[in-house]
Amino acid sequence: MNADAVRERAGGLPREPGVYQFRAEGTTLYVGKAVDLRSRVRSYADPRSARIRRMVERADDLEIAVTDTETQALLLEANLIKRHQPRYNVRLKDDKSYPMVQLTDHDAPRIEITRDPDGETRSASNTSGGTASEAATVYGPFTNKGRVETIVKALREIYGVRGCSDHKYAGRDRPCLDYEMGLCTAPCTGEIDPESYREDVESVRRFFEGETGILADPLRREMEAAAQDRNFERAANRRDRLEAVEAFHGEGGEAVQSRSDERTVDVLGVAIEGDEATVARLRAEDGKLVERDRHGLGAPAGENEGVPAVLAAFVVQYYAERDLPDALLLPERHDDEELAAWLEAEGVAVRVPGAGREAKLVDLALKNARRNVGRRDECGMLADALGLETVRRIEGFDVSHAQGKSAVGSDVAFVDGSAEKGDYRRKKLTDQNDDYDNMRALLEWRARRAVEGRDDRPDPDLLLIDGGEGQLEAAREALADVGWDVPAVALAKAEERVIAPDREYAWPSDAPHLHLLQRARDEAHRFAVQYHQTVRDEVKTVLDDVPGIGPETRKRLLGRFGSVENVREASLEDLQSVAGVGEKTARTVKDRL
C-alpha cells in the first residue's frame, strides 16, 4: 500500500476505539490498537520508522475491528498478536525458567534440581520409593544454578537424602555408589530406618524454609576440625561452601519494601539486542521474592522504539491472561496512553524507582534480562520444556527394513544442536518384521556398550526415538533391562507429538526446541534408510542368477517389491512395471523363481 492508498482507506474508518491489521496475501503483518481508528491508520501514510514503512509497502489489505472501549482494544490487540504472531509486532515468544529444588512426595523423598517441577511431579512413576504427586515441595526459583548445586550437594553430604531416579531406587539389593561416597544413607536397602530418614528430610526442608544454621553449623564445625588437623584443603572447601550457604537465602537482592496496600509487586527489566529482546520479571509477595522468570520477545527494533515499546507489548500480552500485581516497578516509562489508562483502571501502581531498595530490584531484573538477550538456546529451551538439567547431547535412533529383510538400526548424535557425524553408529539387526522388537534390540545394543564401557562416546543427555508410544516403550524396556538410566522421548511423525513416558507434548510448530528434535529424528531416519539400502544391495539373491537381470535391475526390483519373496509372487504385469524389465525378462524371472 502506498501513502495515497492508506489515506483513502483511513478516510472511511470510524472515529472510535478499535484494532487494525495490516495484511499481505492473507497473512497478518502488523496489529495495532487505537482510540481513534481513522486518525491512527492515517498516520501510517507517513510511517515513523523504516521498519513500519517496509511493512506498509508490503501490505495489500487492512482489516479493522471496532470496540466499545480503549481497554477492549488493548486486550483484543494482545490476543491477535498471540494468535497471528505478526512479523512486525513486538511479540512475546518464550520464557526460560530458573532452577528450583524439589523434594518429592515419595515415602523416601529424593532431592533434585528441576526447571519444571509440576511436569516432573506429574510424570513420576509408581515405584517402591513411593509415588510423587502434586504434594511435592518445591523451593525457589533461584538465579545462581552453581550455588544451588553446591547447596544440594552439601545437604546430601550432611543429611544423606537420595538423589537417584525412581528406576535406580527400585528393587535394589545393595547400596549404589552414592552410599559409598557419603551422598546417600541408602533407604533403598534399609541402611537407614524410615523414621531417621524422614528426620533428615525434615532438616533439609527447614534449611530451604530459611533455617540457615541447619547446614551452616555442621559445615562450620567441619571447617574448624579440618583446620585443627591442618587439612587446609578440606578446610578451604568447607569455607567456600559455608559462604555459599550463608549467602543462599539472601540471593536475589533485598526484599521489596512494599506499601501497606501492595501485597504483590512485579519488577521488570528489559535488554535488547538487534531483533531480540528479553524481559526478566521478579515477583514479590508480602515483601519476599517468590518468583523469577525470563521471557523472549521478537522484532522490537526500530526508530523511536526500544525499551518503552517492549515494556508496553510485554505488559499487555503477559498480563492479559494473568492476574495483575498491585504494583509494577519498571526501568523506564512505557509511554503508552491506552496501557496507562488500563492499568490505572485496574488499580495497578506503576513506578520507575530512582533509588532505594526498589531501584536495586530493578537493577537485578536488568542483570537477569541481560543474561539471556539475543540467544535462541534450543538445547536450553528443550531442557526447560522436558524438565531436564541439560540436553546438550542427543542421540537419535531409527530402524529400517524391507518387510523384515535387511533390518538395520541407526544411532546419530547431535551436540549443542548440531550433527556430530563422527559419533554416528549403525547396527545390523536380526531380520524380523517387527518395529518394536527391532527398536528394543537397537537400544539394548547401545545401552550394553555404554554400561560395559565398550562405547568411546560420552553418555547422551537425551535419547530420541523415531516413532510413537510403542517404539518408546520398547526402548525403555531395553534400557531398564540393561540398567542404563538415560531419559528417552519419542517423536511421532504424523502430528509431530513429543511423547514422554507419562505424558505428551504438543509444542507450537515454530518452537525452536521442537525443530531441534525434528532435525535429530530426520537425520536418524535418513541414516537408517541409507544403511538399509546399502545392506540390501550387498545381499546376494537368486536374482543374480537370472539371465537379463543386472545389478541395477535387481536393485529396482528389490526396491519395488521389498524382497525376493515378493518378486516371486508378483504378476507379469507388476514385474513389467519396473524400468528395464520387459515381457521376456519378466517371464524368465517367473520361470526361475
DSSP state of 255: P
Three-class secondary structure assignment of 420-486: CHHHCEEEECCCCCCHHHHHHHHHHHHHHHHHCCCCCCCCCCEEEEECCHHHHHHHHHHHHHHCCCC
Q: Are residues 486 and 508 in the same domain?
A: yes
**Omega before 141 within 30 of 0, i.e. cis:** yes
The 10s digit of each residue's pLDDT in 310-348 is: 899 899 888 876 789 999 999 988 888 888 988 988 899
The CATH number of whichever domain residue 54 belongs to comes to: 3.40.1440.10
Q: CA–CA separation, 590 vs 217, rounded Å?
A: 87
Same domain, 360 and 425: no
| Number of CB atoms found within 10 A of residue 436's CB | 16
Domain that holds residue 154: 100-248
Same domain? For 242 and 333 the reply is: no
For residue 209, CA distances in Å to 101, 214, 290, 470 come to 12, 10, 12, 43
pLDDT value of residue 336: 87
pLDDT for residue 330: 93
* Residue 173 predicted with pLDDT over 60: yes
> In this structure, what CATH number is given to the domain that contains residue 459?
3.30.420.340
Task: Say which residue, 126 or 463, is predicted with more confidence.
Answer: 463
Answer yes or no: is 258 within a domain.
Answer: no
Identify the weakest region by mean pLDDT among 181-185, 284-288, 513-517, 519-523: 284-288
Looking at 45, 64, 89, which one is the last position of a domain? Answer: 89
Domain stop point among 183, 218, 248:
248
Spell out a b/e string for 364-385, using b for 16 or more CB atoms within 10 Å of the CB, else e: bbbebbbebbeeebbbbbbbbb
Last residue of a domain, one of 248, 275, 303: 248
Residue 58 lies in a domain: yes
Kindly tell me if the per-residue pLDDT of 372 is higher than 70: no
Domain count of the fold of the chain: 5
Are 56 and 80 contained in the same domain? yes
- pLDDT tens per residue across span 450-472: 998 888 888 999 999 999 999 99
Do 74 and 198 have their domain in common? no
State yes or no: pLDDT of 500 exceeds 90.
yes
152 and 291 part of one domain: no
The CATH code of the domain that includes 569 is 1.10.150.20
> Which range has the worst mean pLDDT, 79-88, 255-264, 348-357?
255-264
Average pLDDT across the chain, whole number: 81
In a domain, 140, yes or no: yes
Residues 174 and 209 occupy one common structural domain: yes
Q: Does the pLDDT value for residue 542 go beyond 80?
A: no
**Inside any domain, residue 532:** no
- Ranking 51-65, 100-114, 549-563 by mean pLDDT, the lowest is 549-563
- Range from 168-172, 196-200, 371-375, 529-533 carrying the lowest mean pLDDT: 371-375
Q: Does residue 80 fall inside a structural domain? A: yes
Q: Is residue 447 part of a domain?
A: yes
pTM for this prediction? 0.37
Taking the C-alpha atoms of residue 93 and residue 300, their distance in angstroms, rounded to an integer, is 12
Rounded distance between C-alpha atoms, residue 18 and residue 227, angstroms: 72
CB–CB of 115/98 below 8 Å?
A: yes
Shared domain check, 365 and 299: yes
DSSP 204-244: HHHHHTT-THHHHHHHHHHHHHHHHTT-HHHHHHHHHHHHH
106 shares a domain with 85: no
Residues 200 and 83 in one domain: no
Can you give the pLDDT at residue 154?
87
Residue 211 included in any domain = yes
Mean pLDDT, residues 173-183 taken together: 87
Residue 376 CA, distance from chain mean position? 11
The answer to whether residues 394 and 363 belong to one domain is no
Categorize the per-residue pLDDT at 584 as very low, low, confident or very high, splitting at 50, 70 and 90: confident
| 161 and 131 Cβ atoms separated by less than 8 Å | no
- Residue 232 included in any domain: yes
Residue 491, Cβ density class (10 Å: 0-12 exposed, 13-18 middle, ≥19 buried): buried
Strand, coil or helix: 130: strand
Question: What was the pLDDT predicted at 384?
Answer: 83
N-to-C CA span, the chain: 70
Query: Using CA atoms, how far apart are residues 482 and 447, in angstroms rounded to an integer?
Result: 6
- Is the same domain home to 216 and 327? no
